[in-house]
Structure 1
Amino acid sequence: METRAVDLADWLLAHGRTSITTTEAAQVLEIPAEQVRVRLHRQVQTQHLFSPARGLWIPIPPEYRSWGVTPVTHFLHDLMTHLNRTYYLGWLSAAELHGASHQRAQVSQVAVNRPTADRDIGRARLRFHTRTHLPTLTGTNPSTADAHRLTTPPASAGRSAGRSAGRSVGTAGSATAVQTHPVPTGTVLISSPELTALDLCEHPARGGGLSNVATVVGELVDEAGLDPEVLTVLASTVATATIRRLGYLLTLLNDQDLLSTDVEVVPVLERLQEHLHAQPSAQPALLDPRGPRRGTRDPAWGLILNTDVEPDL
């Protein structure tokens, strides 16, 4: 039976399709590809379909049609596959999925291997950040591998009660860097708790400032756990200053008794110190990378304490 343009969204949902390209839509509707955009205009107006990128169409289930868009996690993998980007959802966006939801991200923060334009589609606001080592960390490109089939177990089970139920799909050495996280439309790639903590310490501004980063790191430790073995390997992919900041924040949280009593943070701190001792000596790093180069020095972590950190735990 012929599928009409006005029925395309419901046809896709009925057939378990999470997206369709312009070329595919032309075949389904039996029309020339150049007519697809015009023919689907009504479906977009009535919020049955939306297009996050040229040539890609996403059907909107009835429960989200008042939004005019689906949640970002529901279409991000299809979008990145369409754009031929290696990616992972990171920073506060990943932290929330790991249970660290003290402050929800106002935008969806996505690491990509190549520059990608930000997108605002209704309430879906995507911000893309190019990460130098991302291809190594993910170990796969979503355009050539089906993330729905990747079932490699994570390198560490972590604290089973809180750690993400996703699977490992990317490694740095033998350590889990990126995991698949289940969503209603399949899966989305997200940074592991360890990579999330490192990314937040590398760019504190993306985590709402150091005080909020400290809060989120504390929640990550409590909810998901940080595996010292994983951190040791991932440490080679970030700057030494990032390791220093993470070590300082974990020490601060531990000294102020802000972590759960069953959390073992000392092995993590020991591994971070071992990594730093193996590096060539360097000038102290700034606790706040955007702050002034003045303040008291913390000899344990080689930092200039140029700002106050007040976790909210």
Structure 2
Amino acid sequence: MKKRHPYHALDKWVIELQSEGRHSVSLEELRKKFPKKSEAALKLNINRLIKKRSIVSVYRGYYLLIPPQYHRWGILPAVLFIDGLMKYLGRKYYVSLLSAAAQHGAAHQQPQEYFVIIPPPALKLTVKRGIKINFINKKKVDMRFVEKRKTATGYYNVSTPEMTAADLVFYAKRVGWMNRVATVLAELADEMKPEKLNVSFVKAIGVATLQKLGYLLDEVLEKKELAEALYKAARKARISFFTIPLMREAGRKRYAVSKKWKIIDNVQIEIDDL
């Protein structure tokens, strides 16, 4: 009788997990499932499965189970595993910036990296087999402005179109500065709702972000209904505007100033062809 290899049990269990709809497993689970295996033997088996592209480590102690249709890439799309990873890490999060904009229909702005906003402490950038997850720290992650989207593996958190717009403005440097932000907003604005630009929203995003977003919607993109809703909410919330540059890095002398939004127009905005 042919002797059974000791690693066959691990292979079989991985297949069983996938048949149950699982797409990930932790090292701790593997240790509990195979208590008789030494640490060295277990890691040897794991490395063999990694070489076969059956699993891949996307964070220390956390492995994705790769179904046959994804063996070519050796990894799942980030949208399919980000929620499981963040639950494993015990972290609040939401997908944002260009990644969220793409989910909301800004199809021309497909990012080369996956943007995930988290509260402190920071997490290191994760790069695995062509997928780059950029974790961005935000002092306060307000889940009131987050939606749940369904995927083949469950759900994930993504910022609303309105919060996506605000984050793009606040983190403009991360996504390619104001020209890129304005180009994305030109598409994203179609998904934004005036009633969502309310007092709770303007209080959550910060005054400078509010002014810049209002200015871009109003005087650059001419999305007057959205801009007016934002302005009325700011007045209702009794928020005072102060004169600030659209981009601090571009300087602030000898430029026109928006009387309504108190923005120094120190950047020539050019919208990319959509």
Q: Same fold (TM over 0.5)?
A: yes
Q: Deviations over 1:219-266 (max 9, x none)?
A: 1122x23333344322212221111111111123554xxxxxxxxx43
Contact 1:49 1:59 in 2 (8 A): yes
Contact 2:194 2:229 in 1 (8 A): no
When residues 230 and 297 of structure 1 are mapped into structure 2, their CA distance, relative to the original with a 3 A threshold, is: closer
User: Which segment drifts farther, 246-255 or 206-215?
Assistant: 246-255
Q: Give the fraction of aligned pairs with identical amino acids, expressed as a percent.
A: 27
Contact 2:186 2:221 in 1 (8 A): no
Q: Give the alignment of 1:242-253 within 5 angstroms.
A: 242-253=209-220
The amino acid of 2:92's aligned partner reads T
Paired position in structure 2 for 1:200: 168
Paired position in structure 2 for 1:161: none
Contact 2:197 2:230 in 1 (8 A): no
Distance 1:62 1:231 in 2: 47
Distance 1:91 1:246 in 2: 14
Q: Give the alignment of 1:178-197 within 5 angstroms.
A: 178-197=146-165
Distance 1:87 1:205 in 2: 20
Paired position in structure 2 for 1:162: none
Paired position in structure 1 for 2:100: 94
| Partner of residue 13 from structure 1, selected from 15, 18, 25 | 18
Contact 2:126 2:132 in 1 (8 A): yes
1:209 maps to 2:177: yes
Paired position in structure 2 for 1:226: 193
| Partner of residue 106 from structure 1, selected from 92, 106, 112 | 112
Let me know the Cα RMSD of the aligned residues.
2.0
Distance 1:227 1:37 in 2: 54
Paired position in structure 1 for 2:245: 286
Paired position in structure 2 for 1:311: 271
Which is richer in helix?
Answer: 2
| Partner of residue 121 from structure 1, selected from 124, 128, 138 | 128
- The runs of 5 or more residues in structure 1 that have no matched partner are 139-170, 172-176, 256-264
User: Which segment drifts farther, 272-281 or 50-59?
Assistant: 272-281
Distance 1:228 1:52 in 2: 39
Distance 1:128 1:36 in 2: 30
Distance 1:25 1:111 in 2: 30
- The runs of 5 or more residues in structure 2 that have no matched partner are 1-5
| Partner of residue 4 from structure 1, selected from 9, 22, 45 | 9
Counterpart of 1:311 in 2: which secondary structure?
A: coil
Distance 1:26 1:7 in 2: 15
Counterpart of 1:306 in 2: which secondary structure?
A: coil
TM-score, normalization by structure 2: 0.88
Contact 1:110 1:126 in 2 (8 A): yes
Paired position in structure 1 for 2:65: 59
| Structure exhibiting the larger radius of gyration computed from Cα positions | 2
| Partner of residue 70 from structure 1, selected from 66, 73, 76 | 76
Cα drift, residue 11 of structure 1: 2.3
When residues 12 and 267 of structure 1 are mapped into structure 2, their CA distance, relative to the original with a 3 A threshold, is: same
When residues 266 and 186 of structure 1 are mapped into structure 2, their CA distance, relative to the original with a 3 A threshold, is: same
When residues 198 and 96 of structure 1 are mapped into structure 2, their CA distance, relative to the original with a 3 A threshold, is: same
When residues 307 and 78 of structure 1 are mapped into structure 2, their CA distance, relative to the original with a 3 A threshold, is: same
Cα drift, residue 301 of structure 1: 1.0
When residues 126 and 54 of structure 1 are mapped into structure 2, their CA distance, relative to the original with a 3 A threshold, is: same
Distance 1:214 1:33 in 2: 56
When residues 201 and 285 of structure 1 are mapped into structure 2, their CA distance, relative to the original with a 3 A threshold, is: same
Paired position in structure 1 for 2:50: 44
The amino acid of 1:26's aligned partner reads R
Paired position in structure 2 for 1:273: 231
TM-score, normalization by structure 1: 0.78
Distance 2:199 2:37 in 1: 54
Paired position in structure 1 for 2:91: 85
When residues 33 and 126 of structure 1 are mapped into structure 2, their CA distance, relative to the original with a 3 A threshold, is: farther
The amino acid of 2:229's aligned partner reads R
Cα drift, residue 30 of structure 1: 4.8
Counterpart of 1:102 in 2: which secondary structure?
A: helix
The amino acid of 2:22's aligned partner reads R
Distance 1:289 1:71 in 2: 36
